[in-house]
Structure 1
Amino acid sequence: MTTRTPAPSPARAVFPALGTTAVLLVTDPRALSTARSVLRAELTAVDAACSRFRPDSELSRVNLAAGTPTTVSAYFATALQAALRAARLTAGAVDPTVGAAVIALGYDRTFASLRLDDARPLPTARPASGWQHIAFAPHTRRLCLPRGTLLDLGATAKALAADRAARAAATATGCGVLVGLGGDLATAGPAPEGGWRIALADDHARPVTGREPAVAVTGGALATSGIRVRTWRRGGRVVHHIVDPATGEPAAPVWRTVTVAAATCVDANTAGTAAIVLGDRAVPWLRALGLPARLVRLDGRVVPLGGWPRDRAATPFGGSR
């Protein structure tokens, strides 16, 4: 009779990054240091390229050059193409040209330094200038934004960093890796036995109890978008950070959170953000995509779609298309 040695528990590293919390899990504890170095390098790269809170970031330079052709770096080109693809696949529900609208709402600095009760009146909302008007040649990396357009890559850049870091860390270590950046989770390499167990928090205003519903992810990625975490008051009105590009206003509050599983974190985040913007139209839209999703209404009612398991103990599922 042989005795099976249990696999070691995943090793974990947690640290602040990109205005949120970075979580790294690896199935081989000996690989943690290498994987952490890979993740930190990716976070440095995405921050330097895509941060709208750093005056020295490439995004800030690109926005200042609106109306004038400029050549962007390979990293920025990859991030921009992810954002333009998200806009195309969602028919503009997720649009990187919402930068001016987000700033007008008062989100003009890191959330940690934001005035959470800003007495200034809200300016008149204006629709986003529209992703279709961006002139970009991928082969030369030449970009020209329309005058007055401000890019905001927040809907896709963090998810892209999670995807890239997970893949690079798994390649470097040869083990299973999970990278979590706020609500964006990407996996690569072999999952631990039973999958990566992920707890789902629907209301971040409440303390974590350990009794939250959970799923076990065996591959692919998971992303959660919501309107409860990043909120503030402007001119006596509660606003949040997910903007409807068609109006320039915060998306109408229909869903508290939307969690989507997909093959990549960029796709999962794109679908979740679009669902927040689409409101009640999100249900038929997500059904047509066939992606597993969990939508939570403002009153806490849960709408599972695409084979998402009913809320109970963790149920494994892998990445979708």
Structure 2
Amino acid sequence: MTTRTPAPSPARVAFPALGTTAVLLVTAPRSLPAAEAVLRAELAAVDLTCSRFRPDSELSRVNVSAGATTTVSERFAEALEAALRAARLTDGAVDPTVGSAVLALGYDRTFASLRPDDVRPLPLARPAPGWRSISWNPRTRRLRLPPHTHLDLGATAKALTADRAARRAAATTGSGVLVGLGGDLATAGPVPEGGWRIALADDHAQTVTEQDPAVAVSGGALATSGIRVRTWRRGGRTLHHIVDPATGEPAAPVWRTVTVAADTCVDANTASTAAIVLGGRAVDWLRSAALPARLTGLDGDVVCLGGWPSDARSPGCGGPR
């Protein structure tokens, strides 16, 4: 009779990055240093390319050049293409031209640096110019924004980084890899026995121990968007960071969190962000997209779609509705 040696538990490292926490897990513990080097390189590259808070970032240069035509790098082009695809798939519910609206709300510096209660009055909200107003040639990488337009690539760029880092780390090491950046999770390579166990919380999805209720992810990606993590007060109002492009205001609060599973983190993030913006229309939209999703309302009630599995906290959250 032979005995089966259990596979080692995934090795893990976590560190601050992009205003959140970067988490890396690998199925082959010896591959952790090489995988971490890949992740840190991807994080440094996206920060230099897409940060709203660095005056030397490429995004800052592009925004300053609004009204003129400029040539962007291949990495910036990849991030812009992801953002424009998100806008197209969501009919503008997720739109990269919300940058000016986000700035007007007071989110003009890293979240850790925001005043917790800014007494300044809010300026009059204005709709975003809209992604169709962007002039973009992907062949030449020539870009022109309408005057006074600011791009915000934050959501899709972070998800794209999770996808890129997971794929590159798995290809470099041969290990199974999970990359988590705040609420964005991407996997690549071999999957641990039983899948990657992910807990769902009101702030972000996160990896958990065997004792915690969780959903098992056997591949692809998961993204959670919500209105409770990045909040601040300005002019006597509590604001959050997910802006409705149609109004320039924070999306009306209908869902506390929305978690979506998809083949890529970019697609999962696009859908979860769109659901927050769409509010009461999110269920029908997600149903038409045929993506597994879990939506938590302001009262804590849970709605599951696309065969999202049940868990201990929402036992009725089983099949599609």
Class of the TM-score when normalised by the shorter of the 2 chains? over 0.9
CA contact (8 A) 2:244 2:250 kept: yes
**Map of 2:294 onto structure 1:** 294
Residues 212 and 194 of structure 1: is their aligned pair in 2 closer, same or farther, counting only changes over 3 Å?
Answer: closer
Post-superposition offset of 1:214:
1.4
Are residue 177 (structure 1) and residue 177 (structure 2) matched?
Answer: yes
Tell whether 2:201 aligns with 1:201. yes
CA 1:76/1:200 → structure 2, altered by over 3 Å: closer, same or farther?
same
Structure 2: gaps (5+ residues):
316-321
Task: Note if 1:280 corresponds to 2:280.
Answer: yes
Amino acid at match of 2:297: R
The Cα of 1:155 is off from its aligned counterpart by: 1.9
In 1, the alpha carbon distance for the partners of 2:203 and 2:67 equals 42
Q: How many Å apart are 1:312 and its aligned residue?
A: 2.5
Q: Give runs of aligned pairs for residues 234-245 of structure 1, distance below 5 A.
A: 234-245=234-245
State the partner residue of 2:256.
256
- What TM-score, normalized by structure 1, do the two folds share? 0.95
Q: Which residue of 1 aligns with 2:318?
A: none
1:298 maps to amino acid: L
In structure 2, C-alpha distance between the alignment counterparts of 1:155 and 1:258, rounded to whole Å: 14
Matched letter for residue 196 of structure 2: W
Which residue does the alignment assign to 1:88?
88
After TM superposition, list the pairs within 5 Å mapping 1:1-321 onto structure 2. 1-202=1-202, 213-312=213-312
**Over residues 227-264 of structure 1, what are the superposed CA-to-partner deviations in whole Å (9 max), with x where a residue is unaligned?**
00000001000010000000000000000000000000
Q: Distance in 2 between matches of 1:314 and 1:216?
A: 15
Cα pair distance change 1:270/1:119, threshold 3 Å = same
On the 8 A contact 1:258/1:272 being kept in 2, the answer is yes
> Which ranges of structure 1 fall in alignment gaps of 5 or more residues?
316-321
For residue 240 of structure 1, what is the amino acid of its counterpart?
H
Measured after TM superposition, the shift of residue 311 of structure 1 is: 2.0
Distance (Å, rounded) in 1 between the aligned partners of 2:14 and 2:98: 31
Structure 2 residue identity aligned to 1:163: D
How many angstroms apart in 1 are the aligned matches of 2:295 and 2:24?
Answer: 26
In structure 2, give the amino acid aligned to 1:180.
G
* Secondary structure, aligned partner of 2:169: helix
SS in structure 2 at match of 1:304: strand
Whole-angstrom distance in 2 between the partners of 1:203 and 1:187: 20
Any idea what SS the aligned residue of 1:269 has?
A: helix
How far apart, CA to CA, are the structure 1 residues paired with 2:17 and 2:200?
A: 21
Contact kept, 8 Å, 1:214 with 1:314, in 2: the verdict is no
Moved over 3 A (4+): 208-213
Tell me: CA distance 1:298–1:29, structure 2 relative to 1, closer, same or farther (3 Å): same
Secondary structure, counterpart of 1:155 in structure 2? helix
Determine the C-alpha separation between the residues in 2 that align with 1:314 and 1:107: 34
Q: Give the root-mean-square deviation of aligned CA atoms.
A: 1.7
| Cα drift, residue 88 of structure 1 | 0.2
| Post-superposition offset of 1:213 | 3.9
**Following the alignment from structure 1 to structure 2, what is the Cα–Cα distance between the partners of residues 292 and 156?**
19
Residues 1:213 and 1:300: Cα distance change in structure 2 (over 3 Å): farther
CA contact (8 A) 1:42 1:165 kept: yes
Residue 287 of structure 1, CA deviation: 0.4
How many residues align? The count is 312
Distance 1:200 1:191 in 2: 19
| Matching residue of 2:319 | none
1:73-125: CA deviations, max 9, x gaps? Answer: 00000000000000000000000000000000000000000011000001000
Q: TM-score, normalised by structure 2?
A: 0.95
User: What is the identity, as a one-letter code, of the residue corresponding to 1:229?
Assistant: V
